Amino acid sequence: MKPKILLAFGTRPEAIKMAPLAILFRNLNEYFEMRICVTGQHREMLDQIMEFFDLTADYDLNVMRPGQNLCSLTSKIINDMRPVLEDFKPDYVFVHGDTTTSTAVALASFYNGCKVAHVEAGLRTFDKWAPFPEEMNRNLTSKLADVHFAPTTTASANLINEGIDNKSISVTGNTVIDALHLGLEIIESRPSEYIDKLKETIDFSRPIILVTGHRRENHGDGFINICAALREISLNEEVNIIYPVHLNPNVQKPVFEFLSDLPNVFLIPPQPYESFIWLMSMATIIITDSGGVQEEAPALGKPVLVMRESTERPEAVQAGTVMLVGTDQRKIVDFTHQLLHDNALRLSYSGISNPYGDGHASEKIIRFLFPEALKSYDEKKLISVDE
């Protein structure tokens, strides 16, 4: 009998990072019976990722409701997962990272006697309030999981220090790198209206600074400082700044107040995955508070300024692929100036090994649990949307 595998996710980042694993399980369909369950925690953004990677949900919980809070969302996911688990009876339920979906699905799986495999396990800031609620989500999921796929040795050490059996841990790299490589291949193979529109409106012959920012800990004075720094950069450097602006009003208000009148600042809507990774590949410098970008940018050899005081991804800081600048206006401006005008410093980033893996995390995950499944596939391109 084929092992039954259920992949459950609900947000855009989860979908991106689980997509290459889902494609690999699908391409090994003679060995596995795989199904996908989405909660719809990010509805439109989730659907776009599913379409881009040519994935279809077997179960769609569609849990989001107006005015919903974390308590009601968590309880709804737990309740709605029960019939899914009873119907499919999976051998393993794969969850990802630190979302409410991940923790609620892991708890429901535990209640229903299903083994839980946690992808991107072991990230920690050691402050339960930062980021909130993600830090506690990933801690709780670790307690519920039977198997832990840590992206780095640091993440693995965190789990071992918490008393988790090291035999249940595998260091695989991060599947976000698998997704990035696969996504760029897809972009090269087919046209994109989103990318064509960017090319029509922005001069990419100038140095490009790509900015993303949305985290709630930066709301208020943090975003005011960030926007002041970006304004100063735009007025003093020969660059184009591209900022896909998050829809949260706490982000939109300061961004448009400080930056909307500047001709070399392009405030654009949040981008689909395909155009965003293309923008990353075109950027000279990336300024962000995103966790995922801290992992993806080093794979493209891009220097990153991280607008956070701490990060659950210390490996990038230690490797030198990212610099923590917080929301300090002076640091953001000064480091950007250095990177723009010191070619040797900027180019050094492309030579630093990415601490988050080589783009084969999905294969390592499956090989850890099911080594027999990959024995005849060592010479085959395992992750392909064409199969």
d(CA 45, CA 197): 19
120: annotated active-site residue: yes
Residues 94-148 pLDDT 10s: 999 999 999 999 999 999 999 999 999 999 989 999 888 999 999 999 999 999 9
296: annotated active-site residue: no
State whether residue 189 is helix, strand or coil.
Answer: helix
Evaluate if residue 261 carries a pLDDT over 90: yes
Question: In whole numbers, what is the pLDDT of the chain averaged over residues?
Answer: 92
For the chain, domain boundaries: 4-174+357-377, 194-351
Sign of torsion, CA 359 365 368 372? negative
Evaluate if residue 289 carries a pLDDT over 70: yes
Residues 190-207 pLDDT 10s: 889 999 999 999 999 999
The dotted CATH code for 4-174+357-377 is 3.40.50.2000
pLDDT value of position 318: 85
98: annotated active-site residue: yes
Please determine whether the domains at 4-174+357-377 and 194-351 fall in the same fold group of CATH.
yes
214: annotated active-site residue: yes
Evaluate if residue 299 carries a pLDDT over 70: yes
Asked whether the beta carbons of 298 and 355 are under 8 A apart, the reply is yes
246: annotated active-site residue: yes
Superfamily of 194-351 according to CATH? Glycogen Phosphorylase B; (3.40.50.2000)
Out of 35, 42, 214, 360, the active site residue is 214
Out of 26, 181, 246, 337, the active site residue is 246
pLDDT value of position 376: 65
Asked whether the beta carbons of 256 and 187 are under 8 A apart, the reply is no
Residues 16-34 pLDDT 10s: 999 999 999 999 999 999 9
Q: Which residue has the higher pLDDT, 130 or 38?
A: 38
14: annotated active-site residue: no
pTM above 0.85, yes or no: yes
Q: Which residue has the higher pLDDT, 103 or 293?
A: 103
Asked whether the beta carbons of 328 and 336 are under 8 A apart, the reply is no
Q: What is the DSSP string of 294-354?
A: HHHHHHTT--EEE-SS--S-HHHHHHTSEEE-TT-HHHHHHHHHHHHH-HHHHHHGGGSPP
Interhelix angle 100-111/70-88, rounded to 10 degrees, is: 50
